[in-house]
Structure 1
Amino acid sequence: MSKTRSEGTLPVVSLPLPVDVTAPAVARQAVRTTLASLGLEGPAVDDVLLATSELVTNAFEHGEKPDRLEVEYAEGRLTLRVFDSGSDRPKLKEPSPMAARSRGLQLVHALSEDWGHEPCAGGKFVWAVFSLHRADARA
């Protein structure tokens, strides 16, 4: 992780993303490390990691250029934010049974408590929120 800034009493971890196909793997590993440092483990973490991959892949493929990933954890809620330089709004599409792709946001929608997008300086960010409690996450 490259930097941490404090918002309130809890840190927001921010990671610059590479502008190549390694971005999803880099993001996934960084989120895994961050969650482990918070004492979060187990099946719920796997959902967060899959959503991380999907959000970063979408930023890489549709957002013109991924910029950074932010992870924030407070009061049992984990928020992922993926920033990119694109202005196009993400669209939740019904995937065709024959399509090999276009299921990323469907997965994020199914795995997260909520998700959305917001414009920001230089583009937009797509966010997803997960309920993730330390006691629930330990096996």
Structure 2
Amino acid sequence: MTPLLSHKHDVVRVLWRWTSDTPRAVSQARTALRCALDQLGYGGETLDDAVLAVSELAANALEHAPGPYEMRLRFTTSGLICEVADREPRLPAVPAFPATGPFEIDPSRRSGGLDALLTAMSERGRGLHVVHQLTCGAWGFAAESGGRMKVAWMAIPGT
């Protein structure tokens, strides 16, 4: 039996397409990537990290860009790339990431009680920091289709 996905280089496979009206879109993106990576022999922490990172990229696309959206796997000579494409032509600015992790305690915020804790936990903007941590910095944005689309991409380490 021939697998649906292969390791042929310079090949792109669309895993899933969705719109802003698709129910549970981010959950479905996670499931599609998990199934594809499982079929390719990925497992453990690599699979879990990739699924969590694509969850953030799909959620960002839904929140900040017009659809329809597409999740793809790109097989290249240097490895496997997961892409989330949307119809926003502008590339976002990549924030500077502090040396601490996204959920580590900032010493300047150690007091304040429950209200300060809830404020810190509700802060937005941690998604790309999570992607950065999970991919060891191997991610980014690229223009596509003559600048009419944007792709958020992340590298997935080999099995």
Name the TM-score class by shorter chain. 0.7 to 0.9
SS in 1 for 2:123: coil
Aligned to 2:157: 131
Contact 1:59/1:66 (<8 A) preserved: no
Q: Is this contact kept in 2: 1:67–1:82, CA < 8 A?
A: yes
Is 1:28 paired with 2:30?
Answer: yes
Change (3 A) 1:66 1:104: farther
- Greater strand fraction, Structure 1 or Structure 2: 1
Letter in 2 for 1:106: H
Quick one: which of 123, 131, 139 aligns to 1:108? Answer: 131
User: Which residue is 1:71 aligned to?
Assistant: 73
CA gap of 1:76–1:25, structure 2 versus 1, over 3 A, is farther
Long gaps (5+) in structure 1: 134-139
Deviation at 1:56, TM superposition (A): 0.3
Does the CA contact (< 8 Å) of 1:60 and 1:66 recur in 2?
A: no
Please give the secondary structure, in 1, of the residue aligned with 2:93.
coil
Taking a change above 3 Å as real, the CA distance of residues 117 and 9 of structure 1, as seen in their structure-2 partners, is closer
- Note the alpha carbon deviations across 1:85-132, whole angstroms, 9 max, x for none: 112322333579724321111111111141111112242111111213
How many residues align? The count is: 130
- 1:44 positional shift: 1.3
Q: Which residue of 2 aligns with 1:47?
A: 49
| Contact 1:76–1:131 (8 Å) recurs in 2 | no
Distance 2:78 2:34 in 1: 16
Instruction: Please give the root-mean-square deviation of Cα atoms over the aligned residues, in Å.
Output: 2.9
TM-score by length of 1: 0.77
Quickly say closer, same or farther: Cα 1:42–1:8, change in 2 above 3 A: closer
Mean alpha-carbon deviation: is it higher for 65-74 or for 93-102?
93-102
Identity %: 31
Q: Deviations over 1:1-32 (max 9, x none)?
A: xxx79895575320212324522111110001
Amino acid at match of 2:158: L
- After superposition, give the CA deviation of every residue in 1:58-92 in whole Å (9 maximum; x if it has no partner): 00001222410001345683211110011232233
Residues 10 and 77, structure 2, Cα contact 8 Å, conserved in 1 = no
